[in-house]
Amino acid sequence: MYSLLTIAIYSVGVFALTLLTTSLPLLVHMSKKTSKVINLIGIGLMMGTAFIVVIPEAVLHGCECPVPVGTSGSAATEEHHLEAKNIGLAMVFGFITMMVTDSLSHGSGDDHNHGDHHDNETCSDHGKEEVVINMSENGVKRLRTSISGLCLHSLFDGLAIGSSISSGSVEVIQTIFGAILLHKVSASLGVGIFIKQLHVPFNQAFRYIAVFSAATPVSTVISAFLIHVGSSFIPTHLLGYAFAYSAGTFLHVALMHMLPSIGHHLGISQIAFLLIGVFIPYLLFVEHSH
């Protein structure tokens, strides 16, 4: 079993890598055309990560529950199907959780949204500088909502990693860490590109980036510590449910927050760039599995 020190070192690495890959798109100057291409690839990365990495991991770990001795073949098959249905249900709950979170946050800000349109009209009379300020304020609101969902997803990532220690298998822990690290890099790059599209200044966005980067490591260390001291209240078979719930929150952020930013009518070239992003996690995950 890995020691808490090893887990802590891994967690620091995850934090540093997430912070770097999320900040990179904001620190590198790009033309509008290049930014749009990278935005498409980034959204593809997030979608590919959800469908190719997170969901398969959820099904894989959720359906690997030990079958009691003496259970007949038909009963075992029925139990396996039940687990698969529960995995899907956990994804739905994750998606709905994010819908409720969005509804509550937007509900409290409806009046402000009406005011934004008015502000846009008056800003045209007061100069370009106020328009930029208003865009930045709207961007921060969208960023706050999106980061809250991503942090929820990241907390469950950390819970999944920490819970894997209870298996006592080095291979399982390495596989979970590798998969999480892979999609953290993919997701954080997509998040960085999304933040850039919001026109939020780096000094304002950095605190949200730091919180997003710290969510998984903090959750990992806490859950690993609880298991290490004997408070293993999280059954191993629930690991898949954590992944599935995580996948639901992840899909909501990717599909409801980021995909609409590129519009509803995509050209062939735009779809091609989106598919490039989708297949990058597939190629990386195949290499990782070998």
pLDDT tens digits, one per residue of 136-181:
566 677 777 777 777 877 777 777 677 666 555 566 566 667 667 7
220 contacts 181 by C-beta, under 8 angstroms: no
At residue 226's C-alpha, the angle toward residues 224 and 231, to 5°, is 130
b/e per residue, 65-98, with b = 16+ CB within 10 A?
A: beeeeeeeeeeeeeeeeebeeebeebbeebbebb
pLDDT value of position 175: 60
pLDDT value of position 210: 92
Name the packing angle between helices 128-163 and 110-126 (round to 10°).
140
Q: 261 CB contacts (<8 Å, ≥6 apart)?
A: 39, 43, 194, 197
Question: Confidence class of residue 214 from pLDDT cuts 50, 70 and 90?
Answer: very high
Question: Confidence class of residue 122 from pLDDT cuts 50, 70 and 90?
Answer: very low
The total of other beta-carbon atoms located within 10 Å of residue 284's CB is: 20
At residue 207's C-alpha, the angle toward residues 202 and 209, to 5°, is 80
Summarize the confidence of residues 232-244 as an average pLDDT: 64
Summarize the confidence of residues 54-78 as an average pLDDT: 58
Give the single-character DSSP code of 283: H
Q: Is the pLDDT of residue 118 over 60?
A: no
pLDDT value of position 74: 56
Burial class (CB in 10 A: 0-12, 13-18, 19+), 4: middle
Can you read off the two tokens belonging to residue 272? Answer: 């091609």
pLDDT value of position 41: 80
What's the CA gap between 95 and 29, in Å, rounded? 34
Between 125 and 17, name the one with better pLDDT.
17
211 contacts 77 by C-beta, under 8 angstroms: no
Q: What is the reported pTM?
A: 0.57
Give the single-character DSSP code of 264: S
